[in-house]
A and B are shown apart, each in its own frame.
Chain A
Amino acid sequence: MTVHRLSRADARRIAVRAQLLERTRPTELLDLVRHLTLLQIDPTAAIAPNADLVAWSRLGSSYSTSDLSTALESRELIELSALIRPSEDLALFRAEMAEWPGRGELRAWQVHIRDWVQANEACRRDILDRLGSSGPLPSRDLPDTCAVPWASTGWTNNQNVIKLLDFMVQRGEVATAGRKGRERLWDLATRVYPDDPVVPVDDALRIRNERRLHALGIARARAPVSPMEPNDVGEAGEPASVEGVKGTWRVDPSYLGQPFSGRAAVLSPFDRLLHDRRRTMELFEFEYYLEMYKPAANRRWGTSRCRSCTATGWSASLTPPPTAKPACFGSTPSTRMCSSPSR
């Protein structure tokens, strides 16, 4: 197959267009999420929650946060492992859930979590019983009857019910049924997920790769494992090279040779245009960090530093002042903005 040869400007324009950040804006939230495939939920919401900011940066001020709430309440959109997805896409995950913790020979960490869940089988059944009779419920209303506590050097240490729920989501047994404030409400997955025919794992992975590439425009076939959502796309799309960048990419051919009209856009620090740090550096020549989770003494730029750029190569980043607790947004074009919201 022919390898498409792209300039960096070409690659950037494809990435921006694929993320629906061109001058012509999308108009409907559901269409937007179906195209992007996901909206990430993150507790960092100094100005507004990430999911809302991502939607606003595409849809503009016609977007109302109630649109997202309504879509979640009606289950047109569903939360899966801190990502909001179109409900119909759940069919692309159910077969993989049934194979938890994975296919074939398991890695050590998969054996560890499998054994931990098995050791807490009684608690798992207690949770299912409680949700079955009284769900949806917050995790604090679920019984912690774990025989073996969850051990971690991080904040999840001894957070037995939280960890068990995470694994039960991965197994397709429970689901986030909604939120009360920031608190997740849990219920049986059968009450939350649509009863669509399950797509076999191999087909589902292929379709997810294709849709991810359509949302990203250009990506690597293989990339380091990324939590929540992969950055790579397997064999989706067609091979491409980018001038001045080593290696081969995969590009969605539907974006090739299209006219481009850009605009300025204020981006959330978690925006998928810049989420893949390596891609952001390679395509946009943009070093990008989030430092809000770093100890203050280890921060290079401040609370966070967000960089982005446009298809024409303008860079954008943000460096908050050390005395403030600003919300930080990369924006395009050519902007670093430091801002502090207060109500």
Chain B
Amino acid sequence: MLRVNAIHQDVQFTKPMTAAVHREIKDLAQWLELELTIPVFAT
């Protein structure tokens, strides 16, 4: 499992930025063949 504990935004995310970051993390988990867990507070 790839568990993302937190994503800290150094600047406020726009919706496209949020989507792009989550897509990359999802791609990373898929490439690693790991189940991905991103808690709500980390998004």
A residues contacting B by CB (< 8 A) are 47-48, 56, 60-61, 63, 263-266, 314-321, 324, 326, 331, 333-343
Contact = CB atoms under 8 A, between A and B. Distances in A.
Given A48-B32, A315-B10, A336-B10, A331 B5 contact: no
B40 interface: no
B7 A337 contact: yes
B5 A333 contact: no
A338 B7 CA distance: 6
Given A264-B20, A264-B23, A266-B25, A341 B7 contact: no
A341 B13 contact: no
Contacts of B27: 60-61
Given A316-B10, A319-B8, A333-B17, A341 B1 contact: yes
Nearest to A323: B5
Contacts of B24: 264-266, 331
Contacts of A317: 8, 10
Given A61-B31, A337-B7, A264 B17 contact: yes
8 contacts: A61-B30, A263-B20, A264-B24, A314-B10, A333-B20, A338-B8, A338-B42, A342-B1
A159 B3 CA distance: 38
Contacts, number: 90
Contacts of A60: 27
A244 B9 CA distance: 25
Contacts of B23: 264
Given A264-B24, A266-B25, A335 B9 contact: yes
Nearest to B2: A341
Contacts of B42: 338
A269 B31 CA distance: 18
Contacts of A319: 6, 8
B11 A337 contact: no
Give the top 3 A-B pairs by smallest Cβ distance, nearest first: A336-B8, A264-B20, A315-B10
Nearest to A343: B34
Contacts of B32: 47-48, 341
A340 B35 CA distance: 12
B21 A336 contact: no
A274 B6 CA distance: 21
Contacts of A324: 5
Nearest to B19: A264
Contact of A264 (B21, B30, B31, B34): B21
B6 A338 contact: yes
B20 A318 contact: no
A335 B30 contact: no
Nearest to A319: B8
A292 to B, nearest CB: 16
A161 B10 CA distance: 46
A334 B30 contact: no
A77 B31 CA distance: 23
